[in-house]
């Protein structure tokens, strides 16, 4: 109608495809050409008619969303490249938003992305969908992946959520809640939520009033809502089931968006597209990165990828400030939006204050293979511009930034060339954050799951200090315990929940292979170092041979604490259905002591032989060998 195809081609032909020095100018010219032209009368009337049919008797707010032919492909997501407009009210506003969507085919980031991916600009078409708004501004929304997005572990679904509209989670403006759902437990009608992480959710995006120029705005989230999960367990499970159905329908891992209507309280899936990073990877080839030096952690956040990168910090407030970026540049900024995308392929790493694993920054970093640490909170205030730093995503789900250059090694492993021995080869594991990645290594399961690491790093509190909080004398310890357990109905529930999540993550990663968890084996001095521990531990000259292992479990000094360990294991095995979890008793001096432990375990719901429960003993003292013979 406007005959602008050739003028558009002429504008794009002037693009500097070597250095992209005129990218902004070319993008502006292309968008202006579209925006200054008019729709045909018949096209405008058709939109007007469809809008009236959608609204019924009175005009209602709608979402006007872009959808391009080259979007959401298995190897090119085009995430955030084109524009979407929310809370659009009235036929004239809808027509303007539709035109802006068409113009967004030529955003700077979309032009650069097509160039990088080898798409011809004239071959890509864009349509616009107009949908009734899900009133998530009055509730919550989020995204999900039907595989674990960092490792590609296929048996876990990751759901993330924030209060209000989902743009905050996509743009990485806030740190969201995260939920991991285990598919086999979901299919077997067991409790499938193996991990929950509370985000700060400091901002809530809502619709602006008609008097304001913007269609949406961010407001501060009330403290009580920051302390709440955005979804109930039943809602997490419902979304998990839907995600599973979507994946099974498309026969591939999927990236979905969801929203909850705050008026009707209904949940909706608003979008589904193929996951773009892991589907084409050779799972037999693994690049392992390992730091060879130790240093104090400078900043930490959510790790994206598994690489290590040494480079110079480049502190930026916006992409327009960027100059002379190289693969040695590590961008440090508050948050990453789609406007940053043309820069991200030029740099060696990304560090942000805000954002989660499902934010735009994380998705694009994964697709480009650029290591990133998002959601640090304080990166821009701690890191100095121009300073050399080491960015490490090689230590699990938490990424760490260190001052200066640390030595590291990079090693390619081809699992396809590794032959398993006749003897079972089982891993020794302690950190749940590494479990999904390590599950890809050739193995026969986990021969020793060290519970102590989970208690030290995740629980942090002595179990008896939770059972008998009134006996904790240290004021600072009491304050720390109150803070850690603030969202739990009672303090014992905190221990059971945190420990069961850590154990369940490892058991799920290797399911259905055997995972043997060793009951806690701290020495008295180590127990005393837990928060509140000093009030519950005797002083010993030689803790190595003292009050440890099996002898603690039936002792009045620790019996109630051991009951919490049993409750956590029972929850993993029976409630979550991870019956591949077995138990090992450490430092068991004789048969009588072993029988006492079995008896106390049975009192706490863990009966050997019931529901396939096997109980091992750890052979680590001379009496074990002598008695076995």
In DSSP notation, 237-300 reads HHHHHHHHHHHHHHTS-EEEEEEE-TTT--EEEEEEEE--SSTTS-TTEEEEEEE-S---EEEE
Q: Where does the pLDDT of residue 177 fall: very low under 50, low under 70, confident under 90, or very high at 90 and above?
A: very high
Let me know if residue 279 belongs to a domain: no
Alpha helices in 519-606 (DSSP H): 524-528, 550-553, 559-570, 591-603
**What is the rounded average pLDDT of the residues 1-18?**
91
Last residue of a domain, one of 82, 106, 132: 132
Q: Which domain holds residue 354?
A: 285-413
What is the 3 state secondary structure string of 130-149? EEECCCHHHCEEEEEECCCC
Q: State whether 204 and 320 are in the same domain.
A: no
pLDDT at 132 over 50: yes
Q: Give the CATH number of the domain where residue 578 resides.
A: 3.20.20.60
The 10s digit of each residue's pLDDT in 245-290 is 999 999 999 999 999 999 999 999 998 988 878 766 777 888 899 9
Q: What pLDDT does residue 114 have?
A: 87
> Which range (118-122, 291-295, 476-480) has the least confidence?
118-122
Q: Are residues 370 and 237 in the same domain?
A: no
Instruction: Indicate the residue among 67, 99, 132 that finishes a domain.
Output: 132
Asked, as a colleague might, if the bond just before 512 is cis with ω within 30 of 0, I would say yes
Tokens of 408: 């590291």
Cβ atoms 375, 333 nearer than 8 A: no
Pair 54, 158 in one domain: no
Same domain, 72 and 178: no
The alpha carbon of 579 is separated from its chain's Cα centroid by a whole number of angstroms, namely 26
In a domain, 280, yes or no: no
- 358 neighbors 176 (Cβ within 8 angstroms): yes
CA gap 48, 42 in Å, rounded = 10
- 3-state SS assignment for residue 470: helix
213 shares a domain with 103:
no
Same domain, yes or no: 165 and 94: no
Do 172 and 303 belong to one domain?
Answer: no
Least confident segment among 188-192, 202-206, 542-546: 542-546
Q: Do residues 115 and 141 both lie within one domain? A: no
**CATH number of the domain to which 399 belongs:** 3.50.30.10
Phi, psi of 564 (to 5 degrees): -70, -40
Q: Are residues 111 and 124 in the same domain?
A: yes
| Average pLDDT in the chain | 92
Structural domains of the chain, count: 4
CA distance 313 to 299: 13
Is residue 48 in some structural domain? yes
Whether the pLDDT of residue 72 is over 50: the answer is no
Q: 477 in a domain, yes or no? A: yes
Q: Cα dihedral angle (474, 476, 478, 481), rounded to 10 degrees?
A: -140
In terms of DSSP H, where are the helices of 411-490? 435-438, 451-454, 463-467, 475-484
In a domain, 90, yes or no: yes
Q: Indicate whether 291 and 252 sit together in one domain.
A: no
At 211 the pLDDT is: 67
Under the banding of pLDDT at 50, 70 and 90, the label for residue 421 is: very high
Task: Say which range, 48-57, 106-115, 495-504, 587-596, has the weakest mean pLDDT.
Answer: 106-115
| Model-wide pTM > 0.75 | yes
* Domain presence at residue 227: yes
In this structure, the answer to whether residues 492 and 624 fall within a common structural domain is yes
pLDDT one-digit tens code per residue, 550-575: 999 999 999 999 999 999 999 999 99
Q: What CATH number does the domain containing 65 carry?
A: 3.30.1490.20
Name the phi and psi angles at 500, rounded to 5: -65, -35
Residue 482 burial (CB < 10 Å; 0-12/13-18/19+)? exposed
Higher pLDDT, 95 or 81: 95
pLDDT at residue number 70: 57
CATH of the domain at 211: 3.30.470.20
Residue 439 included in any domain = yes
Q: Is the pLDDT of residue 76 over 60?
A: no
Domain C-terminal end among 88, 106, 132: 132
pLDDT of residue 30 exceeding 60:
yes
Is residue 91 domain-shared with residue 141, that is, in the same domain?
no
């Amino acid at each position: 109608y406007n005959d602008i195809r050739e003028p558009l081609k002429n504008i794009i032909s002037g693009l500097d495809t070597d250095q992209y020095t005129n990218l902004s100018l070319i993008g502006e010219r292309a968008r202006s050409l579209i925006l200054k032209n008019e729709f045909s009368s018949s096209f405008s009337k058709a939109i007007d008619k469809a809008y009236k049919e959608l609204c019924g008797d009175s005009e209602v707010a709608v979402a006007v969303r872009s959808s391009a032919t080259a979007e959401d492909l298995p190897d090119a997501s085009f995430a955030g490249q084109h524009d979407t407009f929310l809370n659009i009210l009235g036929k004239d506003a809808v027509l303007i938003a539709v035109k802006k969507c068409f113009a967004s085919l030529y955003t700077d980031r979309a032009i650069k992305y097509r160039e990088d991916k080898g798409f011809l600009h004239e071959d890509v078409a864009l349509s616009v969908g107009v949908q009734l708004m899900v009133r998530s501004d009055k509730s919550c929304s989020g995204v999900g992946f039907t595989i674990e997005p960092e490792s590609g572990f296929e048996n876990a679904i990751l759901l993330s959520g924030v209060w209000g509209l989902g743009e905050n989670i996509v743009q990485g403006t806030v740190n969201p809640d995260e939920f991991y759902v285990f598919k086999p437990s979901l299919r077997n009608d067991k409790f499938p939520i193996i991990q929950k992480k509370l985000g700060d959710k400091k901002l809530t995006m809502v619709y602006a009033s008609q008097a304001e120029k913007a269609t949406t705005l961010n407001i501060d989230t009330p403290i009580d809502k920051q302390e709440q999960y955005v979804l109930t367990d039943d809602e997490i499970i419902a979304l998990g089931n839907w995600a599973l159905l979507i994946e099974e329908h498309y026969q591939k891992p999927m990236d979905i968006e969801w929203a909850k209507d705050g008026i009707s309280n209904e949940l909706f899936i608003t979008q589904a597209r193929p996951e773009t990073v892991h589907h084409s990877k050779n799972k037999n080839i693994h690049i392992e990165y390992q730091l060879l030096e130790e240093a104090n952690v400078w900043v930490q956040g959510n790790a994206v990828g598994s690489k290590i990168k040494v480079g110079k910090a480049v502190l930026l407030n916006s992409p327009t400030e960027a100059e002379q970026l190289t693969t040695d540049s590590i961008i440090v900024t508050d948050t990453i939006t789609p406007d940053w995308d043309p820069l991200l392929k030029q740099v060696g790493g990304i560090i942000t204050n805000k954002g989660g694993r499902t934010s735009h920054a994380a998705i694009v970093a994964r697709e480009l293979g650029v290591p990133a640490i998002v959601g640090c909170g304080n990166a821009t205030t701690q890191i100095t511009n121009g300073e050399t730093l080491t960015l490490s995503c090689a230590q699990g789900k938490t990424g760490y930034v260190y001052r200066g250059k640390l030595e590291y090694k990079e090693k390619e492993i081809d699992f396809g060339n590794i032959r398993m021995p006749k003897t079972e080869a089982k891993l020794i594991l302690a950190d749940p954050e590494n479990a999904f990645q390590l599950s890809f290594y050739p193995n026969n399961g986990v021969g020793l799951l060290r519970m102590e690491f989970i208690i030290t790093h995740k629980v942090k509190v002595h179990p008896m200090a939770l059972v008998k909080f009134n006996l904790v004398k240290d004021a600072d310890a009491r304050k720390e315990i109150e803070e850690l357990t603030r969202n739990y109905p009672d303090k014992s529930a905190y221990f059971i929940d945190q420990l069961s999540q850590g154990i369940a993550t490892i058991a799920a990663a290797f399911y259905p292979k055997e995972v043997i968890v060793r009951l806690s084996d701290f020495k008295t001095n180590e127990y005393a170092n837990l928060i509140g521990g000093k009030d519950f531990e005797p002083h010993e000259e030689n803790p190595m041979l003292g009050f440890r292992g099996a002898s603690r479990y039936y002792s009045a000094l620790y019996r109630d604490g051991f009951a919490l360990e049993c409750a956590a294991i029972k929850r993993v095995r029976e409630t979550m259905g991870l019956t591949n979890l077995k138990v090992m008793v450490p430092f068991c001096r004789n048969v009588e002591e072993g029988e006492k432990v079995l008896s106390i375990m049975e009192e706490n719901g863990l009966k050997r032989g019931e529901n396939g429960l096997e109980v091992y003993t750890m052979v680590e003292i001379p009496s074990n060998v002598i008695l076995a013979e």
